[in-house]
Structure 1
């Protein structure tokens, strides 16, 4: 039996390594491209100035000042098409985040994830038109994880100490929180809660990653 030379063995090993690299590339490149593209689109969305026509003058001033500061990256985009709400979602509820968009409330499910996803924003800013939302309205949350569509189940007014709406849930839901009344002068005494259940979810396409995030 003829033995295989060391040079032949080395050549075969290199060929196998190259083949494995190519096959991995076919899977990896589209996936990584889709995620990177989604992050780029979210950043581009965040860079656009908000439509502030209906905002309170003080909130507009706070928003413009916040634009001068390096903002945290957007994790998702929240849309309520019927009332014209379109807002970048960022982590936390700091003053900067709340002036620039909607904040993901710590301890609740991440945007695009399962469970209770809770987001908050100002009643005189991005969430001004939350007062016009009706039961049955559709809400979209577009993130790098996928695209979720919710339907509004309930609207309620609660005290600031009532945090029942922020508790974990077995089913996937979306909870939007803002201060109430909407046109109250000074610190608002109540909270306005919009609760919606998940209707559908879809993964971000690796070929055309979240094209509808474009503005």
Structure 2
């Protein structure tokens, strides 16, 4: 007669332990992201005369509302694994994004932040800076970016503001979007469609320049205007299937 009450207590204790473990993992993920931003802030503060600029950072945990459950799990699993300090911080106020930029685009880096694409110029340098991120994680909000929106990239020595002037969808092996442009630029890369199930067959490219921009001059690329783009975004929510494109390591899956 005493066996069942003991079993109930044991199961209750196990349930509490599992719940405590889940809460601990979520808290650790939040702390880890904040720690990376603080660590970058410390590096910048030591190399600039304006450390107060970095004390104003809003250090909130990632907004998981648009993330896939798989991406949340990968983020939580990867936080706590040692990585090098971020090389920059990317901010897009339009979509409430603040994320550390790490060097490289391997799985670990793209699970905990976004990655600087090897072979492109680095933050603070003149040229075309390439940054990749997951479409179902930090870069999900790119679907809501439009011409004229501002993107801020804070490097160790300076902060540059870029204005979006081109959005284009390309094939995975089209690396022409990473070539130098007429003015210093920033190119953000993620997979497309955003809600495609499986390996997405295309890449969504957001390009921005640090020069003055007139939204009326927003270029039409690859035969796609903003109206068509909005229709594609609406349809993609119902797309299913598995594509088998030739994926490049510089792009996120």
Q: 1:158 to 1:66 in 2, by over 3 A?
A: same
* Aligned mate of 1:79, from 76, 83, 91: 91
Q: Using the alignment, how far apart are the partners of 1:62 and 1:98 within structure 2?
A: 9
- Structure with the larger strand share: 1
Kindly provide the CA deviation profile for residues 1-54 of structure 1, in whole angstroms up to 9, marking residues without a partner as x.
xxxxxxxxxxxxxxxxxxxxxxxxxxxxxxx96418999x98xx8x96422221
Q: 1:107 to 1:59 in 2, by over 3 A?
A: same
- Structure with the larger helix share: 2
> How many residues are treated as equivalent by the alignment?
165
Q: Using the alignment, how far apart are the partners of 1:106 and 1:61 within structure 2?
A: 26
Structure 1 segments, 4+ long, off by >3 Å, are 36-39
Residue correspondence of structure 1 range 87-166 to structure 2 within 5 A: 87-166=99-178
Q: Which has the higher contact order (CA 8 A, sep 6+)?
A: 1
SS at match of 2:161: strand
TM-score if structure 2 supplies the norm length? 0.60
Partner of 1:210: none
Partner of 1:207: none
SS at match of 1:165: helix
Q: Using the alignment, how far apart are the partners of 1:108 and 1:166 within structure 2?
A: 7
The offset of 1:68, in angstroms, is: 2.4
CA contact (8 A) 1:72 1:97 kept: no
Pairing 1:189–2:189 present: no
User: Tell me, which stretches of 5 or more residues in structure 1 are unaligned?
Assistant: 1-31, 201-215
Q: 1:33 to 1:99 in 2, by over 3 A?
A: closer
Q: 1:145 to 1:191 in 2, by over 3 A?
A: same
Q: 1:38 to 1:68 in 2, by over 3 A?
A: farther
Kindly provide the CA deviation profile for residues 190-209 of structure 1, in whole angstroms up to 9, marking residues without a partner as x.
00000000149xxxxxxxxx
User: Tell me, which stretches of 5 or more residues in structure 2 are unaligned?
Assistant: 1-43, 213-253
The offset of 1:170, in angstroms, is: 4.7
RMSD over aligned Cα atoms: 2.4
